Amino acid sequence: MTGKPRPDLTDTAAAPYWEAAARHELVLPRCDACGLVFFPPRELCPGCWSRELSWRAVGGGGAVWTFTEVHVAFYDDTWADDVPYVVAVIELDEGPRLLVNLVEPDLARLAIGDRVEATFEDRSEGVTLPKFRVVKP
Amino acid sequence: MSVLDGIAIVGVAETAIGKLPGRSAISLQAEAGVAAVADAGLTKHDIDGVFSFSGYSQAMMLHAARVAEHLGLRPELAVVADVGGPGTHHAALLNVAAAIDADMCTAALCTYGENGISIRRSGRGRAPGTLTGGEDFEAPYGQIAMISGYALFAQRHMHLYGTTSEQFGAVAVTSRHHASLNDNAHKREPITLDDHQASPMISSPLRRLDCSLISDAGGAFVVTSIDRARSLGTPYARILGYGSAATHHIPSQAPDLHELGGPSAARRAFERAGLTVADADAVYIHDACTFSVVAGVEALGLCGEGEGGPYAESGALALGSACPVNLHGGMLSHGHAGGVFHLLDAVRQLQGSAGRRQVDGAEVVVAHGNGGVFSTFSTMVLGRGQ
């Protein structure tokens, strides 16, 4: 089995995001010039091109914007032990959207608009991935 | 006047489509290229521009130079455009038009295609998942295939507008019916809605029969000036209007459905053509999945926003309706090797050479669709040469 794709932890524009995830915290870049909170992290603000950015802790609350249950391990056996798994786009309360996995999904009840909260998965290869779970009403 | 008014598509050709073991992608593009030049009534020595794209299963630098070398050509121009989906072929037309206008080219060969099935057996392929751009923030979550990206938008369309899997199935069934009228289609045996509903889930809500094929195939077209086309005496297609749009790269960064680039690309193309979709005799929509057609008929204005599902279910996509969709069978049934076949069949409709799937007297045909996961859109309004 080949390794799963892992983010580039050496990318200086994104390193604080992954370092925070390792502490089980969710942070997003915020533009000091125009106030935009955005994702994915990059060296400039996509709203106004300012390079004056700060990191802002966010609550990890949001809602399911859309989702799919993936039933096939595409290309090779990398994801064979994971299928079926749920890929979802989450809209955070702060605005940005993230593509993540939903953990322990209840597929019979899962719906767009469901409230979610952040959780964190420490992967064996030394990466922590922010993930989300549906908040029980 | 636009430079696009000055060009004509004078020749089209495609190879056999399906499993073609042992055939390299370059050989498929070359075979189609030679046939397209002959279809245009030209010879090797007339070609002084090459435009191409490698396809994603064996992405390559300087691909047009490779095509030129393979065919023993030393053109002034060897240019690659990669807009995604139909935009790649439409951008080649834009490049050729500018080159012809600048006296840098008189006749251009544009080649496409890949060996998406056989590259896997050879072990030399590259998973498109390594090319989609979400390597840091999406691939680690298993978002590695285009189809699961499409599934995210199909799911949202169902949520917002009540679209059903059966309505997606209507697209699949109609595409297969059209392919049954096309002797070169990869999949020709008719399917039913029950077959669609019984096909296994790939990435919910998309089932196997919602997904485009993977094919070994090549396709090519030849472009020259309108004046040259007239002197050749062969039927040709003109460009009446072109529009495009780019909104994002990876699925999580897309705007909501109604803000995707399809409607604006279509509106720009029809405005530049001075036409509306009511003038179209047929349309060709890049169908990476059945939902792409649902979104496409909405974007083109064949129905209202959110009404693509009922529109598909009504039978309006089929040959015999006012504006049939994907008469060659689309990527769902005819073949998928980069999506050039929509443009080729649009030209055939305008040349009157589409055989059993011909729309009688077709004057205006539209090629439309997206690259990436609804990342870029391109709409080209084509007209019969005269």
> B134-163: per-residue pLDDT in tens?
889 999 999 999 999 999 999 999 999 999
The mean pLDDT of A74-99, rounded to a whole number, is 95
Residue B30 lies in a domain: yes
Per-residue model confidence (pLDDT) at position A1: 44
Which residue range is the domain that position B60 belongs to?
3-124+215-232
CA distance B355 to B352: 8
Report yes or no: A18 and A127 within 8 Å, Cβ to Cβ.
yes
* Residue A2 confidence (pLDDT): 59
CB within 8 Å: A6 and B127: no
Closest chain B C-alpha to A40 CA, distance in angstroms = 7
Confidence of residue A86 (pLDDT cuts 50, 70, 90): very high
Domain membership of residue B63 (yes or no) is yes
Chain B residues whose CB is inside 8 A of the A101 CB are 141-142
Please state, rounded to an integer, the average pLDDT across all residues of chain B: 95
Considering its fold, how many domains does chain B have in total?
Answer: 1
Residue B291 located in a structural domain? no
Among all residues of chain B, which has the CA nearest to that of A83? B142
Show the domains of chain A with their CATH numbers: 11-58 (no CATH), 60-137 (2.40.50)
DSSP symbol at A87? E
Q: Say how far apart CA B219 and CA A17 lie, in whole Å.
A: 45
CA atoms within 13 A on the CB side of B75: 30
B234 vs B237: CA distance, rounded Å: 10
Interface test with B, best of A38, A66, A67 (most B CBs within 10 A): A66
- Alpha carbon distance B148, B135 (integer Å): 15
CB B20 within 8 A of CB B48: no
Q: Is B357 exposed, middle or buried (0-12, 13-18, 19+ CB in 10 A)?
A: buried
- Torsion angle of the four alpha carbons A63, A69, A73, A78, in this order, in degrees rounded to the nearest 10: 30
pLDDT, tens digit, for every residue of B6-64?
A: 999 999 999 999 999 999 999 999 999 999 999 999 999 999 999 999 988 778 899 99
Residues 77-106 of A with CB under 8 A from B: 79, 82, 85, 87, 89, 97-101
| Distance to chain A for B250, nearest Cα, Å | 9
The verdict on residue B375 lying in a domain is no
| CB-nearest partner of B203 from A6, A71, A131 | A71
So what's the pLDDT on residue B121?
67
Query: Among B137, B148, B156, whose Cβ lies nearest the Cβ of A70?
Result: B148
Tell me the CATH number at B60.
3.40.47.10
Across the beta sheet with B364-371, the strand order is: B77-80, B49-52, B107-115, B216-225, B7-14, B237-246, B376-384, B364-371, B282-285
Taking the Cβ of residue A129 and every Cβ of chain B, the question of whether any pair is shorter than 8 Å is answered with yes
Does a structural domain hold residue B248? no
Chain B nearest C-alpha distance from A22 (Å): 15
Contacts of A127 in chain B (CB under 8 A): 140
Q: Give Cβ neighbours of residue B53 (< 8 Å, ≥ 6 apart).
A: B63, B80, B81, B82, B88, B92, B112, B338
Low-confidence ranges of chain B (pLDDT < 50): none
Task: With both helix axes pointing from N to C terminus, report the angle between B25-39 and B63-70 in degrees, rounded to the nearest 10.
Answer: 70
Taking phi first (over 0 means left), then psi (-120 to 50 degrees means alpha), and beta for anything else, what does residue B55 get?
A: left
Q: Contact B137/A98, CB-based, under 8 Å?
A: yes
- B51: in domain: yes
Alpha carbons B326 and B211: distance in angstroms, whole number: 15
B168: in domain: no
Q: Is residue B99 part of a domain?
A: yes
Among B137, B147, B247, the residue to mutate for chain A (most A Cβ within 10 A)? B137
pTM over 0.90: yes
